[in-house]
């Protein structure tokens, strides 16, 4: 079975490395150290020429996924920007204060994204009943769910991911993400997964005035083409890629 590797990136260097390594799809973000925020319009317009489908994260701020009416309006405009740039789709999510998916907000956002692919992001991992959330995502029309199986990493959540794949029965793609690396992906072999989501990044220490003045973080995660290739090789050894 051939699987797809989606790589999340938040800068131009990462986009280049992901493509050089053979990524099949890009999740385009800003601020991956905060879990990913909406990329700039300029970044969207640049990424559309990378040669593979690009999905834009639609998340206007860090923190919880309970959106105000004004934030939903901003998200709708960001979806418009992704469409105008020519991107393939969007990645989004919304929750109510009780943790359940906010179906009303999601309908507004998905209506705005009509004709584009839509991924439900890892707000799914914060829902109180993942199987009920699975059915809601299907009913809303999402193409896929990005999930770590409600654990810190996808390997730790492998049992729930396997159960979600079985329950989904081909109605929606279950895409594991969080901690997906060549060295760890074997923990997800044999689950019937079609797509994998990873940063394929290496951690580097930074120093200098930009760090000292707070313009850069001391620890920087850099997408690396070799990590993308290594992940594909690991999947190929399982006969998946």
pLDDT tens-digit profile of 185-240?
A: 999 999 999 999 999 998 777 667 876 677 666 666 789 999 999 999 999 876 55
- DSSP assignment letter at 186: G
Percent of the chain with pLDDT over 70: 94
Cα within 13 Å of Cα(185), Cβ side: 28
d(CA 44, CA 56) in angstroms, rounded, equals: 7
Categorize the per-residue pLDDT at 241 as very low, low, confident or very high, splitting at 50, 70 and 90.
very low
Give the residue-averaged pLDDT of 165-176.
98
> What separation, in Å, do the N-terminal and C-terminal C-alpha atoms of the chain show?
7
Q: What is the CATH number of domain 4-200+226-237?
A: 3.20.20.380
Token pair recorded at residue 127: 């829902």
Residue extents of the structural domains in the chain: 4-200+226-237
User: Measured in whole angstroms, how far is the alpha carbon of residue 161 from the centre of its chain?
Assistant: 16
Assess contact for 69 and 102: CB atoms under 8 A: no
The pLDDT assigned to 221 comes to 75
């Amino acid at each position: 079975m051939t699987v797809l590797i989606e790589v999340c990136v938040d800068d131009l260097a990462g986009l280049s490395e992901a493509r050089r390594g053979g990524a099949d799809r890009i999740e385009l973000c800003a601020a991956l150290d905060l879990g990913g925020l909406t990329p700039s319009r300029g970044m969207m317009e640049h990424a559309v020429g990378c040669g593979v489908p690009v999905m834009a994260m639609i998340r206007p701020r860090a923190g919880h996924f309970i959106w105000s009416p004004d934030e939903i309006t901003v998200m709708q405009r960001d979806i418009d920007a992704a469409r105008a740039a020519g991107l393939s789709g969007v990645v989004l999510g919304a929750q109510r204060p009780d943790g359940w998916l906010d179906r009303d907000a999601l309908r507004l956002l998905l209506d705005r994204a009509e004709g584009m692919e839509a991924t439900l992001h890892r707000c799914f991992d914060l829902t109180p009943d993942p199987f009920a959330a699975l059915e809601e995502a299907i009913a809303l029309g999402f193409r896929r769910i990005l999930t770590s199986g409600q654990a810190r990493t996808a390997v730790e959540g492998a049992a729930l991911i396997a159960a979600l794949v079985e329950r989904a029965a081909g109605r929606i793609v279950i895409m594991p993400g969080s901690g997906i690396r060549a060295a760890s992906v074997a923990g997800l072999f044999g689950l019937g997964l079609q797509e994998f989501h990873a940063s394929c990044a290496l951690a580097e220490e930074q120093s200098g005035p930009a760090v000292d003045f707070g313009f850069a973080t001391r620890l920087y995660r850099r997408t690396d083409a070799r990590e993308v290739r290594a992940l594909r090789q690991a999947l190929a050894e399982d006969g998946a890629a």
